[in-house]
């Protein structure tokens, strides 16, 4: 079961080198690199949350994807840049430089095999900028390589139907959304009896500055929360998680379809 949530026929490492060599239309085959993290998610969630979400959402999307679209998932990159959480035991973090190097070298291996479309599917909020840097640098180095730095949550989904405005704005870590989707994906690993409600504390009032808005400030998790939770995990349910997982995975089906159809603009 090395493939986990991924359908076996969509799992890149199950292919042989001769099958890869013989593939037709490699230029439009979509290779997807899930990127997660191993970091604290409060007293009620396992430290694998971001990686589990990446693999769970991608697996469900690949199950739904039309068979005529060639798309394959690489093994998840479980470790990410999580130094905002490193005061909490269990968090494992790479430096930005290490993560950039790993992604660049992985991508160059994919390029050498003849593929020309790579999606960086990131599910950790602390590293979208790294995906963007890697994507731009790869495309600058290999102009026929289309690289897509996608954040898992930026596809269309129904979160606004499921969560309160306060949760949508401040429930950014181990809150209702992440707890609900883990109840759908890994229910046996969620300890709801330990779930807490704690929103970020000490934020600037009447200010243009915010944690993750247009004018953000740098922050460490320990400065904003004692529990490691930013949101209300006590209101999470499996039913909300099932609906959220379904909608996010539908968004990813559309995203993969669009990548398959994509042609790099040229004047």
Mean pLDDT of 145-161: 97
4 located within any domain? no
| Domain assignment present for 122 | yes
Q: Which pair of tokens denotes residue 172?
A: 């950014």
Greatest C-alpha distance within the chain: 61
184-189 mean pLDDT: 98
Per-residue pLDDT for 265 more than 90?
yes
Residue 32: how many other CB atoms lie within 10 Å? 26
Q: Which residues of 157-171 are buried (b: 16+ CB within 10 A; e: fewer)?
A: bebeebbeeebbbbb
Mean pLDDT for 175-194 is: 98
Work out the pLDDT band at 204, boundaries 50, 70, 90: very high
pLDDT number for residue 175: 98
* Percent over 90 (pLDDT), the chain: 98
Integer Cα distance of 53 and 9 in angstroms: 20
Asked if residue 39 is part of any domain, the answer here is: yes
Q: Give residue for tokens 């080198």.
A: 17
Q: Looking at the domain assignment, is residue 76 inside a domain?
A: yes
Domain range enclosing 141: 29-261
Residues 154-174 pLDDT 10s = 999 999 999 999 999 999 999
- Res. 224: pLDDT tops 90: yes
**pLDDT higher than threshold 90 for residue 22:** yes
Those residues with Cβ within 8 angstroms of residue 1's Cβ, 6 or more apart along the chain or in another chain = none
The pTM (predicted TM-score) of the whole model is 0.97
Residue 34 has pLDDT above 90, yes or no: yes
233 neighbors 198 (Cβ within 8 angstroms):
no
Label residue 213 by pLDDT band (50, 70, 90): confident
Overall domain count for the chain: 1
Domain assignment present for residue 109? The answer is: yes
Report the relative pairing of strands 146-151 and 197-198 from DSSP bridges: unpaired
Rounded percentage of the chain residues whose pLDDT exceeds 70: 100
pLDDT of residue 182: 98
DSSP state letters, 58-71: HHHHHHHS-TTS-E
Q: Is 267 part of a structural domain of the chain?
A: no
Q: Rounded distance, CA 71 to CA 25, Å?
A: 11
The yes-or-no verdict on residue 149 having pLDDT over 90 is: yes
Q: Is residue 13 part of a domain?
A: no
Phi, psi of 158 (to 5 degrees): -110, 25
Mean pLDDT of 108-132: 98
Residue 68: the pLDDT is 96
Query: 60-104: per-residue pLDDT in tens?
Result: 999 999 999 999 999 999 999 999 999 999 999 999 999 999 999
Does residue 1 have a pLDDT over 90? no
CATH no. for residue 188?
3.40.50.10310
Residue 150 lies in a domain: yes
How many Å apart are CA 192 and CA 176, to the nearest integer? 11
- Mean per-residue pLDDT over the chain, rounded: 97
Q: In this structure, are residues 99 and 81 in contact, taking their beta carbons and an 8 Å threshold? A: yes
């Amino acid at each position: 079961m090395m493939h986990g949530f991924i359908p076996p026929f969509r799992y890149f490492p199950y292919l042989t080198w001769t099958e890869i060599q013989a593939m037709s239309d490699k230029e439009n085959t979509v290779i997807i690199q899930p990127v997660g993290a191993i970091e604290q998610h409060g007293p009620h969630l396992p430290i694998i949350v971001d990686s589990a979400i990446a693999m769970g959402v991608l697996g469900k999307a690949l199950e739904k994807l039309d068979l005529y679209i060639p798309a394959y998932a690489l093994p998840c990159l479980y470790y990410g840049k999580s130094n905002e959480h490193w005061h909490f035991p269990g968090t494992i973090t790479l430096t930005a430089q290490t993560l950039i190097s790993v992604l660049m070298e992985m991508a160059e291996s994919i390029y050498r095999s003849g593929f020309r479309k790579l999606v960086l599917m990131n599910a950790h909020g602390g590293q979208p900028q790294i995906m963007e840097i890697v994507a731009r640098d790869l495309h600058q180095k290999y102009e026929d390589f289309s690289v897509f730095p996608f954040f898992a949550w930026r596809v269309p989904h129904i979160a606004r139907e499921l969560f309160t405005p306060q949760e949508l704005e401040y429930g950014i870590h181990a809150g209702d959304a992440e707890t609900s989707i883990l109840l759908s994906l890994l229910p046996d690993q969620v300890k709801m009896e330990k779930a807490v409600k704690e929103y970020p504390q000490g934020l600037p009032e009447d200010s243009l500055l915010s944690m993750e808005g247009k004018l953000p400030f740098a922050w460490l998790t320990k400065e904003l929360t004692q529990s490691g939770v930013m949101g209300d995990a006590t209101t999470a349910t499996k039913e909300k998680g099932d609906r959220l997982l379904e909608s996010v995975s539908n968004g990813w089906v559309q995203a993969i379809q669009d990548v398959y159809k994509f042609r790099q603009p040229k004047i």
